[in-house]
Amino acid sequence: MQPDCADDVQLPHLETFAQAAELSSFTAAARTLGLSQAAVSQRVQAIEKSLGMALFRREGGRVLLTEAGRRLHGYARRILELHQEARATLMGQRPPLGGELRLGASSVPGEHLLPAILADFQQRHPDIKVFADISDSLKVIQQVERGKVQLGLVGRKTDNPDLEFQPFAEDRMVLVAPAHHAWAKRRRVPLKQLYRQPLVLREAGSGLRHCFEKALEQQGKSLMDLRVVLELGSNEAIKEAVLRGLGLAVLSTFAVQKELQAGQLAALTVTDLHCDRRIYTVRDHRRVLSAPAQVFLTFLETHP
């Protein structure tokens, strides 16, 4: 008597399928599991044959789940977790959550929020290995779109319907001047007085610059109305330029806390210019999140 083809769907097959789904790549799944790419393909094909339906589709060099694949992934993860729970119960111990978590972050959340977040996160989950890449918001969003990172932390949103943005922190931008500047003792300055001042900006693509440009638009103005003398690709470089007297800058309060406390920089509010913004997590809902990524998102919701 021939065994039913569903008998081919074993735990290793489900684990392979789940890894390929979460990494959007058969090659990456093979590397993670220590298998050949051919073995990963064979296991996925065995499941597809037993179910009589495709679980993956190719898009832009990546493999994405079909609707059937998305439904199966939830069941696969539950089965694998129940298997781990059963072993842990019988052996009298619960295995720690492990795996890899790949993050992308723009400069403000990456340099000023993420270190403290990860310190607490790794205390709770020491077996999760975290890789974090720091760049500007648009580059991080592109990494999420291409599946190079599982989650992004950014200071702006886009209109891509495949992306899901969730706010997790608030940020306030201020105009900063060196301590020797004539405005250093002031708390507020009208926007019209800013037109004549040399200004140092972040590069195009940064969430901070995008927010500043939007604030100007609300007042019927643009960067063309300002005296931009320099564009730099990092907050640290901009602070150094301001300290050397090259111009003023609009920066996040997170980025200038040390310099403000040391009395090296002064922070001013620009009247008529709303420069507050939100910091978001971003994920591509076409891809399923790995267990470490899901745990990290839940952790962010409760982190002070």
Q: Hey, what domains does the chain have and what are their CATH numbers?
A: 5-91 (1.10.10.10), 99-168+279-302 (3.40.190.10), 170-278 (3.40.190.10)
Point out which residues pair with 267 in neighbouring strands: 176
User: Could you give the residue ranges of the DSSP H alpha helices within the chain?
Assistant: 11-23, 26-33, 37-51, 67-91, 107-108, 114-124, 137-145, 191-194, 207-218, 235-243, 253-261, 291-302
Give the pLDDT score at 74: 83
Q: Identify the pLDDT of residue 6.
A: 45
Instruction: Kindly report the pTM of this predicted structure.
Output: 0.74
Question: What are 240-274's pLDDT values in tens digits?
Answer: 999 999 999 999 999 999 999 999 999 999 998 88
Other C-beta atoms lying within 10 Å of the C-beta of residue 267: 18
- Relative to beta strand 56-59, strand 62-65 is antiparallel
Q: Tens digit of pLDDT per residue, the chain (304 long)?
A: 344 444 556 888 988 888 888 888 888 888 888 889 999 999 999 998 888 899 988 887 788 888 898 888 888 888 887 887 777 777 766 666 778 899 999 999 999 999 999 999 999 999 899 999 999 999 999 999 988 899 999 999 999 999 999 999 999 999 999 999 999 999 999 999 999 999 999 998 898 899 999 999 999 999 999 999 999 989 999 999 999 999 999 999 999 999 999 999 999 999 988 888 999 999 998 888 888 898 999 999 887 6
| Res 1: pLDDT | 35
Q: Are 102 and 150 in contact (CB under 8 A)?
A: yes
Alpha carbons 142 and 98: distance in angstroms, whole number: 26
DSSP string, 37-99: HHHHHHHHHHHHHHHTS--EEEETTEEEE-HHHHHHHHHHHHHHHHHHHHHHHHHTSPPPP-E
Query: What are the structure tokens assigned to 204, written together?
Result: 């195009």
pLDDT of residue 96: 65
